[in-house]
Amino acid sequence: MSLAIEGQLATAIKEISAMRTQLAEAEAKNHPIKATLQKSVIASKEQATTLRNKLKSLKQNIIESCKKAISVCKDKGVSVLNDVVEFFGIKPALESLQNSLNEGIDKNNKTIAKIEKISQEYHSTGMHLKNIGRAFVGKESIQEAKPVGKLAKAFTSPYRAEKKCFESIKNYVSSAINTIDKLEKAALVSQNKNMQATNRKQHYSHNID
């Protein structure tokens, strides 16, 4: 799981370079989208740093937890796994990573929507200016603005790619959380069985006495 997540995160980080390229292009053309891109590039860098740090911490927790689980289970069985998992904070760490991914996906969605909106307004303004020119030469006005243009699609491309990476990582994380949930349930069942067995032994010993 960790290698797959690292691979997806590395791909997401590469998209930041593409975002910088798009920003440079917008700045060169003085496109009104440049302010949005400037903010989104900074946000993406911060998001990538946060995810990288959380993944690093999670990996260390998993390694230590596995070592502890193997050692303890040899003596006490599956019933102690729940305590081991909780002690090393694997599930909270996964949930924290999942929350950060959700935030990243949400930010990408908002950035994409904002880019498309600004682009649509930019095209609409251009249409009105063209209509003024067309009116001067006696041509009919253009009634509808063009759909999102090629430039807007290019601007949104790295954000869509980053979002896809985050969604892929989230799938891995969600699967890991589900696995831990099953493990916790299995541990609880084992604990209940052990408790019932202990109670039966105590009851049997009491009757003998």
> Which tens digit of pLDDT belongs to each residue from 39-81?
888 888 888 888 888 888 887 777 776 676 666 666 655 555 5
In a domain, 121, yes or no: no
In a domain, 138, yes or no: no
In a domain, 147, yes or no: no
Per-residue pLDDT, 163: 92
In a domain, 149, yes or no: no
In a domain, 36, yes or no: yes
The greatest distance separating any two alpha carbons of the chain, rounded to the nearest whole angstrom, comes to: 112
Per-residue pLDDT, 27: 80
Number of domains in the chain: 1
User: If you average pLDDT over each of 28-37, 101-110, 154-163, which comes out highest?
Assistant: 101-110
Q: What is the pLDDT confidence band of residue 108, given thresholds at 50, 70 and 90?
A: very high
Region 121-130 average pLDDT: 58
Per-residue pLDDT, 104: 92
CA separation (Å) from 21 to 24, 32, 114, 152?
Answer: 5, 16, 18, 14
> Which tens digit of pLDDT belongs to each residue from 158-204?
999 999 999 999 998 998 888 878 777 776 666 666 666 666 666 55
Per-residue pLDDT, 130: 59
In a domain, 130, yes or no: no
In a domain, 119, yes or no: no
Q: Which domain holds residue 107?
A: 2-113+162-208
The reply to whether the predicted model has a pTM over 0.75 is no
3-state secondary structure string across 33-76:
CHHHHHHHHHHHHHHHHHHHHHHHHHHHHHHHHHHHHHHHHHHH
In a domain, 145, yes or no: no
